[in-house]
Chains A and B, each alone.
Chain A
Amino acid sequence: MASQSWTHATLALQLLRLDPGLGGICIRARVGPVRDRLTRLIEPTARRLHPAISDEALFGGLDLSATLASGHLVQEKGLLATPGPLVLAMAERTTTGLAARLAVALDKGDQHYLIALDEGVEPDECLNPKLAERLAFHVDLSDCSLADTEVPTQTFKSTVHLREIEVRPKIIVQITRISEELGIDSMRAPLFAIRTARALAALHGHDRVTLDDVEIACALTLAHRATRIPEPQTQEDPPAPPPDQSDDSNSDETLDLPDELLLDAVRALLPDNLLDQLAAQKARAGRGNGTGAARKGNRRGRPLPSRAGRISDGARIDIIGTLRAAAPWQTIRRDATGREGLQIRPADIRIKRFEEKSDRLLIFTVDASGSSALTRLAEAKGAVELLLAQAYARRDHVALVAFRGTEAELLLPPTRSLVQTKRRLAALPGGGGTPLAAGMLTAFEQATKATRRGLTPTIAILTDGRANIALDGRADRKQAATDAQQIARVLRAHKTDAIVIDTGNRPEPALRNLAQTLDAAYLPLPRADAERLSKSVATALGD
């Protein structure tokens, strides 16, 4: 007996073959016999992609070897040039850039459809949402064993043309309403549901979409997009209005399908841990995806000596270098080939190279309030100096933000000068309230600026945590704490790395909370010696 997810997967593959406009399917399963059995059902003409595929392979480009050999321009065809199924392996590692390129290809409606093989393990490791949005189907085969699978023996033959299949307006209304009830915002979902219903009818050789078609279509296309579990409706609903007699009277079968039945079909497929998954997606929005952050160089551009290589994505040919490499061989090649003119072989190609580097920026956000000054400002300064020494060794940039009284101040904009930092730090006076939120906000502004310049910022907050000045400058302890938490959430949403160093005499629970919101390392100074401090900073910096 085949399991439901397996049946859905095989059915979806058949539907896609019939109507490529459905976009594709995302199959979530680890490598194994179950997946192998399913992939064997994919059309043999399917071409394979991988997440690191180059633009040249996708869209085509200059075929250099052929061009040079033949003496006239030969264009290489890209994978997207011929319509047909595309199989994307390791789909969970697709970068946003590739997802956008594939999305454009799917949007064009050139008869491409995508079969994404998602091998993600963790709930937040999944296909890029931009791409998932454009695929009608999603099946999860992780709980499917080989015994549950069954190669479908029944091959459908569609005799009806897709366009000729009638979809009653009532069904369109109903599908739209249901997707709304499931909390699906995108308009693509109901469109896919209708298209699937139409393809199903064609598969069965009907000329009209039936009750069963709609039910299966909703289950196939809507369940995985649901963001809300609809309440089962109570039976006290007002009786349905009498069927409209003026409507086509011989098609009342489709009129009688209550929303509730359709919703049940979808509800049965909703994963038990829907809420957990949604939470994971939210967290993912804050922490990036499985592809790893691209390191952006802020010092790109200084040309390096060109190097032998082949033309690939974005590479630029160093024409002078190429000619220089080819020059000594000209006489020999002319004799060998008997051909006149310049003769360049692929081995002569020289590629321009550029230096790429990304520097780190440590933003020290130091509490210089009265409460801190009384207790351990000196020690905090010591800790900063220790970190500075490390930053110097790593050739990191440093910035210094201090907050006291009612506002925060940028004492030192990002710099590499250690001497300046030390001098400003030593001269830092203490006193006044603790406007923690203002300090974090200033640090955040610096971090955003730095990111734009290609630096990788890390914020180190040194405070005793007793925030008592709100963002607007009022002395309001409660508001101050709320403000700090809010900025912490913003920082996290922007994926800014941080460490929180508690300089108080006793560890402050509020500060531990703040560190949690920031998803940052929390380090109480009373028990921290130099070695632990340096280790934790190293961890935070990802060394």
Chain B
Amino acid sequence: MHPFPFSAIVGQDEMKQAMILTAIDASIGGVLVFGDRGTGKSTAVRALAALLPPIKAIKGCPINSAKAKDVPEWANVSAKRAQDMPTPVVDLPLGATEDRVTGALDIEKALTKGEKAFQPGLLARANRGYLYIDEVNLLEDHIVDLLLDVAQSGENVVEREGLSIRHPARFVLVGSGNPEEGELRPQLLDRFGLSVEVASPKEVETRVEVIKRRDAFENDNAAFMLRWQAEDAAIRDRVLKARKALAKLKTPEKTLTDVAELCLALGSDGLRGELTLLKAARAYAAWRDDTALTRAHVREVAPMALRHRLRRDPLDEAGSGTRVARTVEEVLG
């Protein structure tokens, strides 16, 4: 079955905006969606794939290389022709073993032909694309450690069972989870560019609309997909346009100061917060089709870029989103 169309998601504007920003500029670094049960987290993340324009990659290359010279030797690709393929969105299931994530010795070849061959894992398939982890906070610790390392270096190194293989693994992490079921380590939190919190809509009209669309999706799938296809395509075109506009976008000195001051006032650790905030604000400006970055853009994306980078205050029951909003109010006025 097709995933639920992105444009048909009712409300949840912040979450949708974050997804669009990461589609415009992948270097922002992915989205983390946290929320209660039944708020449509997984639905939105799975819908993201439809927003992503296709990429050019060598046919049959296990790591989706763009150029023929980047195809690894162990892949044994003979005809090196480039072709369009959808941006890879790879699911990392909770039960995945280390072998499946990093790749391992190809047991079939080892047993039948006695060959020492490498069987690429999920990280290879996610190269140049997205790695999606549902229930990211329930992921086993050793897999998290492994991901942290690869996400940082952009390279997957396999040194085991007599194999010594390294291949590029540059991917954007997208995760969702329910914070009640377990927390995320700050190191992993930091790897996500943006984070959003979602809740069930409170107005009856919105809720009814959600139910109606979902019901139509389930019962009359073909007609429903057809109806929203055009709108999904419109968003995708706008994403492409924004990608182009991004290069020409001016960043005034004043906005840089704003960003630095904001991060300083919030005490977010490291420079990653500032960089992400700047990139997200630029992507937002490009999406809005504005020519220069202004304070308004920064203000709009500050909560999603910084919320998860604050030091946690166990007594703050309102959540760190409120803290960011308050500080934005104070610093940027």
Contact = CB atoms under 8 A, between A and B. Distances in A.
B108 A185 contact: no
Contact of B314 (A96, A163, A490): A490
Interface in B129-187: 134-135, 138, 141-142, 161-162, 178, 180-182, 185
A302 interface: no
A298 B111 CA distance: 36
B135 A100 contact: yes
Interface string B265-306: 000000000000000000000000000000000000000000
Nearest to A181: B204
B95 A59 contact: yes
B93 A104 contact: yes
A96 B182 contact: yes
Interface in A489-521: 490, 494
Given A96-B181, A296-B141, A187 B108 contact: no
B204 A180 contact: yes
Nearest to A61: B97
A194 B182 CA distance: 32
A108 to B, nearest CB: 8
A73 B107 contact: yes
A133 B37 CA distance: 7
A387 interface: no
Contacts of A67: 107, 111
B202 to A, nearest CB: 9
B36 interface: yes
Contacts of A68: 111
Q: What's the dominant secondary structure at chain A's contact region?
A: helix
A188 B39 CA distance: 9
B333 interface: no
B141 to A, nearest CB: 7
Contacts of B219: 162-163, 198
B207 A176 contact: yes
Residue with the greatest number of chain B CB neighbours at <10 A, chosen from A62, A173, A344: A173
A242 interface: no
Contacts of B214: 187, 191
B181 A130 contact: yes
Given A72-B108, A130-B181, A187-B40, A487 B208 contact: no
A296 B144 CA distance: 14
Interface string B89-131: 0000111011100000101100110100000000000000000
Contacts of A445: 314
Contacts of A344: 111
A444 B313 CA distance: 11
A97 to B, nearest CB: 6
Given A71-B112, A107-B42, A173 B94 contact: no
Interface in A177-214: 177, 180, 185-191, 194-195, 198
B329 interface: no
Contacts of B98: 316
A129 interface: yes
Contacts of B210: 187
B215 A58 contact: no
B37 A186 contact: yes
B1 interface: yes
A194 B200 CA distance: 18
A55 B95 contact: yes
A20 interface: no
Contact of A187 (B94, B162, B207): B207
Contacts of A176: 204, 207-208, 211
8 contacts: A59-B93, A67-B111, A185-B200, A187-B210, A194-B211, A198-B219, A471-B315, A490-B315
Interface of A: 21, 55, 58-59, 62, 67-68, 71-73, 96-97, 100-101, 104, 107, 109, 129-130, 133, 162-163, 167, 169, 172-173, 175-177, 180, 185-191, 194-195, 198, 285, 296, 300, 314, 316, 319, 341-342, 344, 441, 444-445, 448, 452, 471, 486-487, 490, 494
